[in-house]
Structure 1
Amino acid sequence: MILISEMLGMAEFKEFRSLTGDFGINKRIRDIGIHDYESLEQISETFGEGDFVLTTLFVCRDDSKKAEEYICALLDANVSAIAIKEVFFKELPQRCVEKAKEKKIPLMFYPKDIYIEDIIVKIKDLLNDSKYSENLENKIKRISEGLASIEEEAYFIRDINQEDLHNIGVAYLKQKNVNIGKIKSDVENIRKVVSEVPGSKNIFLAVYDGGIMIFIDYEDEYKYKNDLDICMSSVGDTTEYYVGYEIESAEKIELKKTINNAITAARVCKFENKDKMSFEDIGVYKMILPENKNLGMIKYSNEVISKIKKYDLEYNSNLYKTAEKYIDNNGDVGKTAEDLNQHSNTIRYRVGKLKELLGYDKKSNDSFYVELYMTMKVSKLGMNEFIRRSV
């Protein structure tokens, strides 16, 4: 299955003209249906859920009233989408458009110089690629969740370690605003570029959970980073992704850890507003993540943040923002004052209030800073919803 939004994101479909905007673009296509001569009575028997229907409305031939009846019949069959070739019609009655929006079924036109056969071939290819991609994604998910057997993991490593090198690195490019069509297009661009690079068999790509996972087997860390840079240069706009990466020895067969560390590093990029980070450089987040192993820490952080925000609400203060900037600036009062456009004495006063709320003497620094640092880092994870689900 493929998403309609994924299909429309491909270059081959850029001339398709939607009448229904974004309504229903997340519907899935399971098959292609061709409507030529079917009568109104036959439509419900011939087409159904999951079908992407291509038609010229030949059976209606310039009869807009009849076209309205046929389009409405297709909509009542709950197909996934309808694409009309601009041969006999270039517009449809407004009733069709409104009904399509109501049922969240995309309705579109495409130019008459595009052959139906070409569309069929492309969508069939997409459906086949999608099945392979889904199977590959499921394999990676099983490994990351610890559900794969040692043999399954070993077979997967063998598949990606075609050059039989000593180490495997994983990079996870998490798209900031998920567009599956764009992700798959970027994967194809990367494949095209690396295929022209000597030794490209050491690079293996997969679409994974709203992003791209890159497996690289390599001899040394310099080679790994160079290959990763080659892959990144093939992506049109790298700022569309958070990039987390990790390296590991293939001999240890710890691909689960390597995959999850790359995913974690990509998550931290989002929290810290950075484009690229290695797991080695994420610092205290190694202690905080994964959240389900640190529920006590998260609950405590939530209690502290609640105290701070309650104080802000009661006294119309700005302690939370001060705490956030104070930690971002590594405890530098002057820089915090500059960022918040406040006098440094105001920041010192607020830090003193934070110490009081956390139960510290105003002169105490070391333990207070560590506690506030951990609290604010956990707060950045936005874990309130997680806590509610877990208690």
Structure 2
Amino acid sequence: MKQNNSSILYFNSNRRLAMKLTVRDISNFSELSQLTLIAGRGGLAKNVTHCGILDYEYDKDVSSKYYDYNYQVDGGFLTLTTFLYAKNNPNLIYDAVKKLVSKNGSGLIIKNIFKLPISENVIRYANHMNFPIFLLNDSHPFFEDILMLVNKAIEKYSSVYYLEQKVSALLEIKEDDIEAATCAAREINPFIQDDIISIYFRYKYNHLDTKDYLEIERIVESKGILNPESSIFLYKNGFLLIISSRQFAKNNIYDILNPYEAFFKNKAVKNFTAGVSKIHHLKEDLAYAIKESIYASSFTEEQADAPFIAFDCLGSYQAILQFSDKPSMVTYSKKYLTPLEVYDIEKNGSLLDTLTNFVKCSADLEETGRVMSQHKNTIRYRLNKIGEILGLNPFSLGDYEELALAVRIYICSNKEF
């Protein structure tokens, strides 16, 4: 803050990648166990792309090592300070916090060696602006150690998300642009070979913590599971395992994945649903393989006790999945299912659920009743009611096929890619 003859120094990574290291991640580092959050809990999810020190012009030995951004960085910075310049005027702390917030700062760590009082105005403002403030009531670790710790984490997290960006770019390439698809596959792994299987591990809960993923990556590396031609990396709310070989020794996907059986059973992946693509024999087909594995992982009900869900085993869903959001498909499905949804809302019924389970159970009345914990005659009654509403006979082959297609489009359209 120039009016107080102070400046802010930021040690910034050379990489310009999407970084998702958050304030919460940093606060959970074991090396920073002495941190106490005093305000701004609502901002713990803010990203951190820089880490800097306020007032470090007083230490020439350290300040010369870092570039002086003087608040010119574009947000995302975590600030460390002792508030040395404010020790004779603690009111300057409030001004500093407002300045940091105005520059889209992500948070503030105060090493309170001068035992400065943090006013209620500061606390209220930080809470209102969701600006996390931590106190560090210990002389250790030193600021320089915290800087190195945070910036190493930024580098690590950025490399994790780098490949996610590459996959997103690959999936945007037009299907007929073989050269671009091949180049994109090599950017993901320069050693990738033509025979490919993609496995997507979809996290079953809301948010996969990057630290948890990094532990999985560590397990894979420590056990030597992957050869140089294969890859593991974070993608969306899960991670991708790309198995690649010049030529797979087996033609059966279960035989090929047999060496990975122990990994599928590892407790580190117990909260994931694994989807496996078909075997592909051209590296430019990597996008297809990735999509297939992601689609397969969305059929969680198909996994049961199996280690994974194979795209090859999804039957007619294989043909529908990539087109279920097309207007013609949506219109077809709604033509049959919207009247059932309206009936269910008005009568507090369960006709759509019954029809969906009937199709999933391959038109088996008894199995549908078992799945829904209902007598088969109850299921029969509901299906007859569906027939009345739609003017169809769910028990005739032709009408059943029309309804089954509508239901399968509906199921696929609700799958998260």
TM-score by length of 1: 0.79
CA separation of 1:62 and 1:195: change in aligned 2, threshold 3 A = farther
Distance 1:232 1:63 in 2: 59
Query: What residue number does 1:143 align with?
Result: 170
- C-alpha spacing 1:90/1:212, structure 2 compared with 1 (3 Å): farther
Q: 1:75 aligns with which of 70, 83, 101?
A: 101
Q: 2-side partners of 1:315 and 1:189: how far apart?
A: 48
**Which residue number corresponds to residue 284 of structure 2?**
253
Q: Could you tell me which residue of structure 1 aligns to residue 76 of structure 2?
A: 50
Provide, for residues 325-372 of structure 1, a one-character-per-residue CA deviation record: whole Å limited to 9, x for no partner.
Answer: 33344333334445545443232111111122232247x432333333
Identify, as 1 or 2, the structure richer in helix: 1
* Alignment-mate amino acid for residue 173 of structure 2: G
Asked if 1:279 corresponds to 2:311, the answer is yes
- CA contact under 8 A between 2:49 and 2:76: conserved in structure 1? yes
1:58-207 map, 5 Å = 58-61=84-87, 65-85=91-111, 87-89=113-115, 92-110=118-136, 112=138, 113-147=140-174, 150-155=178-183, 157=185, 160=189, 162=191, 167-179=195-207, 182-197=209-224, 200-207=227-234
Corresponding letter in the other structure for 1:18: L
State the 1:74 CA deviation.
Answer: 2.9
Q: 1:14 to 1:238 in 2, by over 3 A?
A: farther
The gaps in structure 1 that reach 5 residues or longer are 386-391
Shift of 1:293: 6.6
Matched position secondary structure for 2:330: helix
Aligned CA distance change for structure 1 residues 34 and 227 (closer, same or farther; 3 Å) = farther
CA contact (8 A) 1:3 1:25 kept: no
1:34 is aligned to 2:83: no
| Partner SS state of residue 313, structure 1 | helix
Q: Deviations over 1:171-206 (max 9, x none)?
A: 1223344546x2354235324443442764343122
Q: Equivalent residue for 1:298?
A: 330
CA RMSD of aligned residues (A): 3.8
Aligned equivalents of 1:249, 1:213: Cα separation in 2: 16
Q: Specify the SS of the correspondent of 2:299.
A: helix
**Is the aligned partner of 1:331 residue 2:363?**
yes
* Identical pairs, percent: 22
Cα deviations by residue, 1:293-349 (Å, 9 ceiling, x for unpaired): 743222221232210122233444332232233334433333444554544323211
Structure 2 alignment gaps of length 5 or more: 1-18, 59-67
Letter aligned with residue 198 of structure 2: V
Q: CA deviation at 1:37?
A: 5.9
For the pair 1:369 / 2:395, whether they are aligned, the reply is no
Rounded to whole Å, the distance in 1 between the matches of 2:162 and 2:213 is 19
**2-structure distance, mates of 1:232, 1:267:** 17
Q: Out of 307-316 and 54-63, give the one that drifted further.
A: 54-63
Whole-angstrom distance in 2 between the partners of 1:168 and 1:9: 40
How many aligned positions are there? 377
1:183 maps to amino acid: T
Structure 2 match to 1:210: 237
Give the conservation status (yes or no) of the 8 Å contact 2:77–2:105.
yes
Rounded to whole Å, the distance in 1 between the matches of 2:174 and 2:211 is 26
- Once structures 1 and 2 are overlaid, which stretch shifts more, 145-154 or 124-133? 145-154
Change (3 A) 1:257 1:237: closer
| 1:267 corresponds to 2:293 | no
Does the 8 A contact of 1:32 with 1:51 survive in 2? yes
Distance in 1 (CA, whole Å) between partners of 2:225 and 2:262 is 12
Pairing partner for 2:350 from 318, 336, 350: 318
